[in-house]
Amino acid sequence: MVAEDDAKQAELVRRYLEHEGHSVVVVEDGRTALEEVRHREPDLLVLDVMMPRADGLDVVRILRAESREVPVLMLTARSTEDDLLLGLDLGADDYMTKPFSPRELMARVRTLLRRSRGSAAPATPSSAPGPAPTVQDEALSVGTLKVDPVRHEVSVAETPVVCTPGEFRILVAMAAEPDRVFTRQRLLEELHGFDKYISGRTVDVHVMNLRKKIERAPRRPTRLLTVFGVGYKLTDPAKKAPRASS
């Protein structure tokens, strides 16, 4: 489903999607998008932010409140950090800023559909070592942070934390290997598989948003640390270890 009030933009996206073999429904406003998602249960929603009768952010907020797990790829003319964080925080799975490359859009659509259908992308010789992400049988703990892959629950000091699907995948991967340094590329593979079109910026936005949820002082993190020039690691702040960069 494509929700876009710009007729030319909607037609362009529709043609590219149909060329790749997808059946496409186009709607022009947020309220109709909500009604059609409820009725049709599409495999993917390509959602413009600025629309009449409920904007894209409201659409995502309502869909996630209704526990609808349709993957959402947001299209936005806004490119500030706060705007991107807000979209991901509400439950969008990915975003693209306008103007965008239709070919890149199709690559991201393929990635989200592949991920939502549960098929792992094939490993490549250049990929980082380590097993493909799998569902753990038991909850994972890193200090007072607990991640339960089966129940899809996260808590800090027994206080529940609500995470988006992307944030949750990052936490599962990192909690399974505490203190391991994950490169952005490795985390991208956890998020989207092996897709060269996905930007490392997506990882940075998820990490910044996670820090707001699991850190006492997000600007001075003690759990989800930056290892400059390499990536990120998840650690127990109560452990006495060499001081890491943050």
- What percentage of the chain has pLDDT greater than the value 90? 45
* 6-62 confidence digits (pLDDT tens): 999 999 999 999 999 999 999 999 999 999 999 999 999 999 998 999 899 999 999
Strand pairing category for 2-3 and 45-48: parallel
Query: What is the reported pLDDT for 199?
Result: 57
* 49-108 confidence digits (pLDDT tens): 989 998 999 999 999 888 888 889 988 876 666 666 677 778 888 888 888 888 888 888
Query: What is the reported pLDDT for 198?
Result: 52
| Cα–Cα distances in angstroms (integers) from residue 87 to residues 33, 78, 209, in the given order | 17, 11, 11
Beta strands in 77-172 (DSSP E): 94-97, 140-142, 145-148, 153-156, 159-161
Q: Which domains does the chain have, with CATH numbers?
A: 2-116 (3.40.50.2300), 140-234 (1.10.10.10)
Q: Is the peptide bond before 71 cis (omega within 30 degrees of 0)?
A: no
- Residue 21 in 3-state DSSP? coil
Give the pLDDT mean for 137-162: 88
Nearest to 42 by CA among 24, 59, 66, 55: 24
